[in-house]
Structure 1
Amino acid sequence: MGSQSCELLLLAEAGEKPQPSGPPIRLAWPNANDQRRSVVGKASPLKKVGNVGANNLFIVSVSQRDMEMHYKATDATLHVPLHWSPTVQNVGEQELLQHFQRAASKALVILGHAPSQLGDALIRIALASNGASAGALLKSLLAFSSIHRHDVHSQAVELKLQAIKALGAASAVGEITTPQAIQHVAAGMLLCSFETHQSTCTSGDWQWYLGSVKHIIQTTGLYQVQKRDDNLNIILDWVYYNDVHARFCKQYWHRKPKPLAIARPIPPAHNVRPPSPILTEDSSAGMILTHLLSDVIDAISAAPAPGSPASDIDKYNEYIKILNWRIRNVVIPEDLKDDNGENPELPLVLELYRLAILIYLNRACKTHFQPRTKLQQLIDAAFQLVSTVKICDWQFPIFVIGCEARSDEQRAAIMELMARTEKGGSSRVFNHTPLLMQAMWAQEDLAGGDRTDYNQRLTSVMSCCGIMPTFI
C-alpha cells in the first residue's frame, strides 16, 4: 500500500472502552497515594450516545504510514532495531561451509553437548544424501553461517529463503522417511537459530520454526525410533533445550497481536512439548540441569490458586522442597570439560546455571520455603562467579542473576560479562537481555525495597517486547 491513502471505515459503538494491545501500564508499588515517580495513563472519557446508525458512520482518509505511526506512538513496545550490512560481498558456499565448521557452529546453543559436536552432526546429516530435504538443510546451514559471519545482509536472507523454498518442495513429495524427517528437523532448528542469533524485532519467526519442528517430530514419530544414533540424539536434545527456554519466556510474555498484522498459521504442535530425555547415570550435568529447569517451570505454572485447599498447598510445598533439594544436589565435576576441550570453564559456567535455577525457583515460587538469608547466599555466590568466569554463552543464567543486581558494582559486573561474551565468536547477540535487565533494575529502584511480586514484574517487563524474547 506504501504511501497511497486508503479508505478505512471507523465504527464507534456507544460506551465501549478500547482494549489496549500491549502490556498494562502499572507501578512497581500498589499504593495510590505514593508520592514517588510514577507513570500513569488515563483514558479519555467517552460520551454516552445512542446506537450508531448508518448516518453516523465516518469515512477517514489516512495513509498506511499514518497507521504505522499511530500504533508505534501508542504502543509501549521495546523495539530492537535490525542491523543491516549492505556492503558485504557474497562469498562461495564452500567458504561458508568451512566457516560454519570452524566458527559458526560454536554459536549454536545447547546444554549437555559441545556446540561443535552439534555442528559436526548437522554437516554429516546434510551431506548424507542428495535429496530435497538434504538440500534444504544445507541451505539453512549456509544461511546461519552467513549471518554469523557478516550479520544480516542480502546473501544471508537469500539463502534463508532458498532453504524455506526447498523445505516446501521436500514436504510436497508425500510421506517422508526417518532420515528425511531428521533433515527437516535439523533445517527447521537452523532457521530458528538464524532468527534468534540477532534477536531483533524482525526475528519473531523463531517460535513458528520451533513449533513446526515439534510438529514434524510428532507426526513422524522420531521420539519412538528404537535405534537412535548419535546424530538423532543430539538433534532431539537440541530441540528439547530450545523448547524448555521458550516455555520459560512464554509464561511471562503476554501480548496481543498488533492490529493489521498478518497472522501466520500456528503449527498444530505449537503447544506440544517434546518428551523429556531419559536421564541415566551417564547423563551429562548440562542435560540434568535442563531437565530440572523444565520441572521448575512446570512447578511455577502449577502453583495453587489463592484459596486452594490446605492439603493441596501442603502437597505443593513438599514438592517444591524436593525440587529445591534435587537442584542443590546436582554434582558438577571440577575437572569437567566438553568432549572437544573447548571450554575449560565449563564447571564454573554450569555452577552459574545451577545457581540461576535455584534463584529463579526461590523468587518465582510464592511459597517461602527457606529464609531470606539463604537466598542472599545464593545470589552472593552467583555474583562471585560472574566476576570469575570469562564468558557465559547461555543467556538464561545471565538474565536471572542479572535481575538480582542491586549495587552499581554488581550491575557493572554483569554488563562486563555480557561484553566479554559478545566479543567471542561463540555467542549470539545480547539484545533483549540487557534491556530487560535494566527495566527490572528500574522497577527495583522505584520500589525502594518494597517486596513486589516477582512473576508480575517479569510479566510486565517481558510483555513490553514486540516479539517474545528468548534467553537460550
Structure 2
Amino acid sequence: MGFGSGTGYVLQRLDPSMAISWFPTSLGYEDRELIDHFMCTASCTLAIFEPNKNDFLGLLLRLALSDSSPSSVAVLQSALALSSFYRHGLQASVFRFKAHALRALVTSSKHCMEGPTVFQHIAASLILCHLEMLGIPNTLSLWFCHLSEAKTLIDNAGLNSQIFQGEGSRLLNWVEYHMVMSRFSHRHWYLSGESTRGVRTFAPVDQESCHSRKVNATSHCSHELLRHLYNMFDMIRRPTDSLYHSDEYENSLRCLENKISNVVPLPPQGISDIQYDVSTGWVATMDLWKLAALIYLKRASRNFSGISPQIDAMVEKAHVLLDDLETFNQAFPLLIIGCEARKDEQRMRILGHVERAMRTSNLRSLHGLRIILQQIWVQDDLAVDYQLDYLKKLDAIISSYQIMPSYV
C-alpha cells in the first residue's frame, strides 16, 4: 500500500440506514429526534477500536430500543443524554437523561442479570463514560468509574462466557480498549492516591477503589495490538525498581518490541470493495498505533529522552500516515507522536492534525491534548543544555489535571 500520494482516506462515514418510522411509538417527538441525531452524528465520536462503526451503532440501537425493560431504558436514556449534549450543549436535559439512565441501571440491577441485560448495562455504562469524557464539570474521574463498572460486569460473567460470543465480543472489545488505555493514564496521573486525596470527601462513589482496581488480562476478543499495549503498560518499570537493570527485564522488553514490530495491520473482514477507503483507513490507523506503541516503549522502558534516528524515522512515517488520513481522532498516538516534535514546523504539523481531529470529536482528551503538547514543548525548550526525564515530564504534565484524562 502506498502512502504520500495526497489521497485522503476516510476512516468511516456513518450512514443512518434505519428509518425513523420504525422507532417505538412510546418515544416522544423530541426523543425520536435526538435518537435520529445520535444515529447521524453523536455516535461518530464514540471511541471504538474497530473499523465498522455502522454495525456497532446498529448493535447499540437494538439494545436501546429492544423493549421497555429498565436495562433497555438505561441504554436509551444514556444515548439521549449524549445526543442532547451534542445537539444543545450542556443543558438541563443532559442531566435529566443522565439521571434517568442511572436510576434505570439501579432498578435493573435488583433483578437477575442475564445475557441481554448484561449487554445493556455494559452499553449504558460506556455511553455514560463517554458523556463524562466530553467535559461535564465535576471534580471526579467519573468516566473511569463508569468504565470500571462495565469491566466488573464482564469479570463477573467471565471473559470466556458464551454471552460474549458473536456481537457480545464487540462490547467486550469496546470496554477492553478503554481499560487498556486507562492504564496509560493511570501510570502518569494516579500517583499513590495523591491525585484524589484532596477531593475524597466530596466523592459520591469510592473513587480510590476505582483507581486502585487491578485490570484483568485482555481476552481473545481484543485486537492483537491492544493485547501488546496492555502488556507494555503492565511491564514497563521505573528506574527505581529493583528489576530495572535485570537481564530478565531487558529480555522481556526485546521480546515485546519484536511482537509489536511483527504485527501486520490487516484490512478488516466483512468490508466490501466499495468501502475501500474504510479498509485502507483502518490499516493506516493500525500502523499509527503500532508506531506510537514502539516509540513509547523505547522512550518509557529506558526513560530515554535523547535523539534517536530510529525514532525520528518512525515519527516521519507517522506524519505521512496522518497526512493521508482525512481524520484521525485517537488521542494516544497523537500525544506520543506530538511529544517528539522539537522544531516549530513539526509542532505546527501535529497541531494541524489535532485541530482536524477536534472538528469530528468533542472528547475532552482531544481539546486538552493541544494544551498538554504545548506544555511539554515549553519544558523541552527550557531544557537548553540537558535532556528532560521522559517519564517525569509526562508525570508532571498529566498529573497536574484534577480529573484523570483519557487518551482513547
Q: TM-score range by the shorter chain?
A: 0.7 to 0.9
1:445 aligns with 2:381: yes
Offset at residue 408 of structure 1 (A): 0.7
User: Residue 277 of structure 1 corresponds to which residue in structure 2?
Assistant: 219
Letter in 1 for 2:262: N
Deviation at 1:337, TM superposition (A): 8.5
Within 2, Cα distance between the matches of 1:198 and 1:122? 22
Give the 3-state SS of the residue equivalent to 2:197 in structure 1: coil
| C-alpha distance 199-163 of structure 1, shift in aligned 2 (>3 A) | closer
Q: How far apart are 1:218 and its partner, in Å?
A: 2.6
Q: 1:143 to 1:203 in 2, by over 3 A?
A: farther
TM superposition shift of 1:384: 3.2
Q: For 1:120-131, what aligned pairs fall within 5 Å after superposition? A: 120-131=58-69
Q: Secondary structure at the match of 2:407?
A: coil
User: Aligned partners of 1:305 and 1:203: how far apart in 2?
Assistant: 30
Q: In the aligned structure 2, how far is the partner of 1:214 from the partner of 1:178?
A: 15
1:406 and 2:339 correspond: no
1:157 to 95, 102, 108: 95
Q: Distance in 1 between matches of 2:250 and 2:49?
A: 29
How does 1:62-461 map onto structure 2 within 5 Å? Answer: 92-171=30-109, 173-198=110-135, 204-219=141-156, 221-226=157-162, 228-253=164-189, 254=191, 255-258=195-198, 261-266=201-206, 271-278=213-220, 287-300=223-236, 302=237, 305=240, 308=243, 313-333=246-266, 339=271, 341=275, 343=278, 344-366=280-302, 372-424=308-360, 428-429=363-364, 430-448=366-384, 450-461=386-397
Once residues 63 and 259 of structure 2 are traced to their aligned partners in structure 1, the CA distance between those partners, rounded to angstroms, is: 36
**Whole-Å separation in 2 of the counterparts to 1:252 and 1:116:** 34
The yes-or-no answer on 1:463 pairing with 2:399 is yes
Kindly tell me: are residues 228 and 260 of structure 1, through their superposed partners in 2, closer, same or farther at Cα, counting changes over 3 Å? closer
Name the amino acid aligned to 1:96: L
Q: CA RMSD in A?
A: 2.7
Q: Which moved more, 1:160-169 or 1:233-242?
A: 160-169
Whether the aligned pair in 2 keeps the contact of 1:337 and 1:346 (CA below 8 Å) is no
Gaps of at least 5 residues in structure 1 are: 1-89
Could you list the per-position Cα deviations for residues 395-446 of structure 1 after superposition, in whole angstroms to 9, with x for gaps in the alignment? 110111111111111111111111112223x563522211111111111111
Q: 1:364-383: per-residue Cα shift (whole Å, max 9, x none)?
A: 01177x99322222223223
Matches of 1:463 and 1:320 in 2, distance apart? 26
Q: Which amino acid aligns with 2:122?
A: V
Q: Is the 8 A contact 2:243 2:249 kept in 1?
A: no
Q: In 2, distance between residues paired with 1:274 and 1:199?
A: 28
Which runs of 5 or more residues in structure 2 are unaligned?
A: 1-27
Q: Distance in 2 between matches of 1:432 and 1:91?
A: 36
User: What is the letter of the counterpart of residue 136 of structure 1?
Assistant: A
d(CA) in 2 for partners of 1:256, 1:155:
29
How far apart, in 2, do the equivalents of 1:386 and 1:193 lie? 24
Residues 136 and 272 of structure 1, relative CA distance in 2, 3 Å threshold: same
Q: CA deviation at 1:229?
A: 4.0
- For residue 31 of structure 1, what is the aligned residue in structure 2? none
2:16 corresponds to which residue? none
Identity of aligned residues (%): 28
CA distance in 1 between counterparts of 2:235 and 2:196 reads 25
Q: Residue 24 of structure 1 corresponds to which residue in structure 2?
A: none
Which whole-Å CA distance do the structure 2 matches of 1:443 and 1:367 have between them?
A: 16
Query: Any conservation in 2 of the 1:109–1:115 contact (CA below 8 Å)?
Result: no
Aligned residues: 369
Once residues 105 and 244 of structure 1 are traced to their aligned partners in structure 2, the CA distance between those partners, rounded to angstroms, is 21
TM-score for both structures, normalised by structure 2: 0.82
